[in-house]
Amino acid sequence: MTATNPISAANARYARSEQAFEQARGLMPGGVSSPVRAFKAVGRSPLFIREGKGCKVTDLDGNVYVDYVGGYGPLILGHAHDAVVEAVSKAASRGMGYGMSTQGEIDLARLVTAALPSVERVRFVNSGTEATMSAIRLARAATGRTKIIKCTGCYHGHSDGLLVEAGSGATTLGTPSSPGIPEAITSQTVLVPYNDLPGMETAFNNFRGQIAGILIEPIAGNMGTVPPAAHYLAGLRALCDKHGALLIFDEVMTGFRVAYGGAQERYGIRPDLTCLGKIVGGGMPCAAYGGRADLMRQISPEGPVYQAGTLSGNPLAMAAGSATLTILRDSKPYPQLEKTAAALEAGMLTAAKKAGVPLVAQRVGSMVTFFLTDKPVTNYQQALRCNTKAYAAFFGVMLDKGVVLPPSQFETWFVSVTHDQSALDQTFSAAEAALAAAAKCS
């Protein structure tokens, strides 16, 4: 076998993942189905996972890891939760899909609308990208306007109008960050730094009567975990009301994660439209968008705004989502999640202090990011100050010691209800050596 990555290939414990990666590279772009899985940002070859249970995953070589990726958020109950697996198995035994409606759609819709008072009607789709793309189309149709404000460093899926360069200044118009995206499309996107309320006001004034809405992660998670500043979300609500625009919460990550009713429950702000994903499908490909009934009535077939999907409302995804939300509603695990995540935060800060490594912990509920910097992060530009070489060294040692993290400094760690004290102890033990390695990169 020819080593493709000396950092990881030198260690025989990853031999089967390396072999799988060699095969995958000849079949898929970069050998992966999504870019972050390639581990390029941390200088490693990707792991190939065989199975997961609870808070742990096992790779093709049989290595077992405490997992803080959590499928990038949906697995709040841990991997292969018995009740969720049983619900999916029962649904699969009846058929994989029909191209027609099922009771499962009604069941999950009832759970969603009961949890989120702002969502009076909901439409199921297959991915967060579909949800945000569809919500924007609806906002434009409802307002008769074309421009959308998004925040620099916030990720809302890979649809053309949202995949734009990070910009500076309050009203930087988006330019494409990927070949194949026309500037005519991204020119309808207005970029404003996250947590910059005056910048939002300036954007509305500079494009008076042209802004259809603000699309916002109420808690930023795709530049790492960045909480909203005090009064920021309330200020966005007031601006949208003042200027006749719609407030769209991208709760793909935060929905059912930071509270059962998502960030809008946690912060007491009611958006016009909400985009959901991850937990709402219980780990299956599933997402949704919804909002006020008068807005959602404009969606086809009730109204003229067209959106469709062959696999939308797939019965397996509906079963997984309903099982997950029912458990969350009935077991009320959020105090436990808060306690576990707070213990993780405290233990990592203690380890960093011992290692003499600057580390900033930013956490909301069971979402947390440990930034390798000495100052708090409130927006994307501040996140970029982090020492990414140090994070790569930190990541590698953590992996070798049996703890798998998101392979990027700019991602969120997720805590599940299955992370117990033994998982935390293993994490802290690994962190001592990992932070010592990071210290050498400062």
Question: Which residues have a catalytic role annotated?
Answer: 155, 250, 278
Distances (CA, A) of 172 to 190, 196, 360, 377: 6, 13, 29, 21
CB contact at 8 A, 88 and 266: no
Q: Which residue has the tokens 């140090």?
A: 390
Which residue from 281, 245, 265, 219 is spatially nearest to 135, judged by alpha carbons?
245
> Cβ distance 88 to 319 under 8 Å?
yes
* 358-361 CB contacts, 8 Å cutoff, 24+ apart: 358/442, 359/435
Distances, alpha carbon 344 to alpha carbons 172, 262, 383, 394, 438, in Å: 38, 21, 21, 16, 19
**Integer Cα distance of 130 and 127 in angstroms:** 5
| SS3 category, 152 | strand
If we measure between CA atoms, which residue out of 162, 68, 145, 150 comes closest to residue 426? Answer: 68
d(CA 167, CA 369): 23
CA distance 391 to 299: 44
With b for 16 or more beta-carbon neighbours within 10 A and e for fewer, the 174-197 pattern comes to: bebeeeebeeebbbbbbbbbbbbb
Nearest C-alpha neighbor of 19 from the set 52, 50, 60, 57: 60
